[in-house]
Amino acid sequence: MFLHSVNFCNLAFYAFMIFMATLGLWDVFFGFEENKCSMSYMFEYPEYQKIELPKKLTKRYPAYELYLYGEGSYAEEHKLLPLTGIPVLFLPGNAGSYKQVRSIGSIALRKAEDIDFRYHFDFFSVNFNEELVALYGGSLQKQTKFVHECIKAILKLYKGQAFAPKSVAIIGHSMGGLVARALLTLKNFKQDLLNLLITQATPHVAPVMPLDRFITDFYETVNDYWILNAEHINLTTLSVAGGFRDYQVRSGLTFLPKLSHHASALSVVSTAVPKTWVSTDHLSIVWCKQLQLTTIRAFFDLIDADTKQITQNPKKKLAVLNHHFIRHPAKHFEEDPTLIVDLTETSLWVPVKVSKWTYVAYNESEKLYFTFPLAHHRKMHTHAYCQSTMLDTNSWIFGCINTTIVCQQGVDLSWKTELLPTMKSLTLRLQDYPFLSHLVVYVPSVHGSKYAIDCEFFKREARSLQLPVTHLFSFGLSSRTVILKTKGLFYNIELLNFGQIYQGFTINIVSKCAAVKSEITSIYKLQIPWSYEDSLTIAQVPSSTEISLKLHVAQPDNYSYVALLKMYTSSDCEYEVTIRTSFSQILGQVVRFHGGALPAYVVANILLAYGGQLYSLFSAGHCLEYATVLDKEAKPYKVDPFVIMIKFLLGHKWFKELWDVFLLPELDAIFLTSQSMCFPLVSLILFLFGTCTAYWGGLLSSASVRLLSSLWLALKRPSELPKDIKIMSSDVTIMTIVLIIVSWATCGALAILLTYLYYVIKIVHLQAILTNFKNSQTVNPKHPRRSEKKPNPHKDPAAQHLRLSASDAEDSLRMHSAVISLLAWVVLLSMPSLIYWFKNLRYYFKLNPDPCKPLAFVLIPTIAILGNTHNVSIKSSKLLRTASQFPLPLAIGVIAFGSTQLYRVPCCVFISLFLHALCNFM
């Protein structure tokens, strides 16, 4: 019924759309750097000690538990409570295990051993039974309340100790971070119980897949509270994203809202974290050694020596997090660093008057101070730049405040240093330091170490270049190039017109060097000034290096700074930088930011085809093939203009007030605009992807029905074509009642699945009957010669009745093909709650709350009626014309209100199916 209507031009178009989608999917799932995270290992066998909770709490939350992590002798010692350390609580995320705490817990234990346990952390972890809270939001509030009880139980373990903690720090992975933020929304929760919150790959802005209203309501409650109470929230919060390797939670969702009153919140991508500089996937972010080491260093720097607990000083907490996660000066953290330092006069002082200077230190026997007089350089240059490959944490560069060559005191400029993977660097704008007379570089006496120090003075104009990005629709056919010939150590390339998340480019850097004996390293850093999502690329030159250029967060409106490509280069090399548009990365950004809306666009396409079939039945008396009507009716201009017009009208106050009077929900396009996610033509691209998916889904559905009907014929000979059509028999009524009871007593999604299977069986049975009838007519035709001579249908009324029944059955199967496709998406969108219910069946027989139960109550009788509906019984219905017109506004509604709120999509499907079923009675 489907294959015969395949148009080869349409087939070529749908195959091309598959190719386009494949390009986008490849960029999302494979278009990123390899996993450079080092595995964190345990040196002793990890142990998880279960903490006994009150019986009332255990009875209220039978699926949840609290554990204390330990290894070796530490675990043995702490089996005898109470505890003496600093409590940290780890909250796993969606389908996460409480055992994921072992990486950071083990690293913290090794760090405590290094300082002879002067301070140590006790890492607790909550067992949420690996619940799928990212897909089913009904348990998020329950998890939040349990964590509150766990915090109180943890603090009781320290009672009677000399330095007993009054609060805990929380590390939340994925949805665990959102649960931690939700603690503040509880009525009885005291904010003083939390002193620090670090979230890893947590989608703070919105759910990844909003499949039920509970998860969207939970997000709205949490984010509204944090926005409205920003002045009163003193909780220092750090959100760390995984970068492009994390395709489960895109990094743009992890950025905390920047509020004017809530200045103690930081958001950063792991590629920008000093001493980490790698992208992590959604799971490796909890065990990535580089990132966990950075986190533990920050934890130990947060300790207050007086209380032996994490400091309560918010300024210090923010300073520590900035030091370790934002900009590391290659020095140990100091709360009040000494900026004016005394310099050793007895050391050797060497004046340097050239504008470009290099010194290679190796087995230095005495300390050296190289001084650069600034008076002369201020006349010719605007900036000074120095770099050192000596990655120790000692001060190495100073500003002299004397006028003599030998300085007695100097300003420690090392705190302005930026740590990079292979060196540390400092760039000074000379006019910012008019009080300095000399720049001083310190070379300590070292043995066995070889390192290089380079300094140069330059004009900003000579090292700052502009490179406009290529046009979005150049498809990589054109490029723009800049050539660096001055052979400097540092360049700033401004990437003009780059600031939107739908942009994607490839930067190719070719380095050509003179003959050099030693290996030369260059560093290319993409710096995004409006968000901490920088990334670094290390290249051995001469070489050709390719860098992907795309964003996690769009450039804010009225933001003057532009993205930069910072190049730390070699003075022995020339560099050529070329940029061109990457079409695959653009498609990847569309999939990454809008892939979750694809089900809504697929259903909208099927609804348009479904409405076209109903209208052809009303106007012509027969139903068109699904593929034919999909090609005819599924047009983006039938949907998108209405959404655009509504969005435009909502910009006017009178229409917005009218909209609010009718209590209509917010338009999805407005939310996307607020997140700077409205790509040009993105709705058109998604609609075409939806059309392609609807087409191939219909093809698969039709082939599956035919295959199952063939299997049915092989196992059992079906009955004849039905002559008496019954809409509701006693068997159907009983089945409907049973399924409604199942929905009420267990899980609504289970009842929906069983209803779908019933409908599929009915369609397969009808297909088997029709196939058997056609085969019997072909093998045993009645009086073929007589029929050929005088085809008189009135001579055999029984045969005429059979032929009409076969035609009607085939016509009905065409209509059922669209219905079965719609139902398949309803089942898919309700599947997460079914999986959640099945996984927790040993704890709860009835899912509560159940997002699918109201839908199941009305969908079950509707499908029971449609399973016995034939086109011949509704073609004369007075309601058929109305039923055929409703799918178009419903398709508009799906795009307008269901693309970011997927749980609304099944409701629109039900309305169209309900009107179809109602045609049997009107």
SS3 state of residue 2:
coil
CA distance 298 to 317: 9
CA distance 457 to 103: 45
Other beta carbons within 10 angstroms of residue 658's beta carbon come to: 13
Report residue 896 CA to chain centroid gap.
22
CA distance 247 to 573: 37
Closest by CA position to 178, among listed 216, 228, 231: 216
CA distance 909 to 819: 9
CA distance 800 to 791: 11
Q: Alpha carbon of 573 to those of 514, 537, 673, 798: distances in Å?
A: 6, 17, 45, 92
Looking at the annotation, which residues are catalytic?
A: 174
Other beta carbons within 10 angstroms of residue 903's beta carbon come to: 22
Indicate the burial class of 846 (C-beta count within 10 angstroms; 0-12, 13-18, 19 or more): exposed
**Diameter over CA atoms, the chain:** 126
Indicate the burial class of 407 (C-beta count within 10 angstroms; 0-12, 13-18, 19 or more): buried
Backbone phi, then psi, for 417, in 5-degree steps?
A: -70, 150
Edge-to-edge strand list for the sheet holding 356-362: 356-362, 450-458, 383-388, 424-429, 418-419
Tokens linked to 520: 């030369």
Alpha helices in 485-564 (DSSP H): none
Tokens linked to 104: 């950071």
Closest by CA position to 43, among listed 99, 113, 142, 121: 113
Is the dihedral angle over the CA atoms 752, 754, 758, 759 positive or is it negative? positive
Q: What is the DSSP letter of 561?
A: -
Instruction: Give 77-132 as a 3 state SS string.
Output: HCCCCCCCCEEEEEECCCCCCHHHHHHHHHHHHHHHHHCCCCCCEEEEEEECCCCC
Q: Classify each residue of 6-33 as buried b or exposed e, where b means 16 or more C-beta atoms within 10 Å of its C-beta.
A: eeeebeebbeebeebbebbbebbeebbe
- Non-local (6+) Cβ contacts of 756 within 8 A are 823, 824, 826, 827, 863
Tokens linked to 672: 């996307």
Q: What is the DSSP letter of 270?
A: G
Closest by CA position to 112, among listed 93, 86, 143, 134: 86
Count the residues in the chain.
Answer: 922
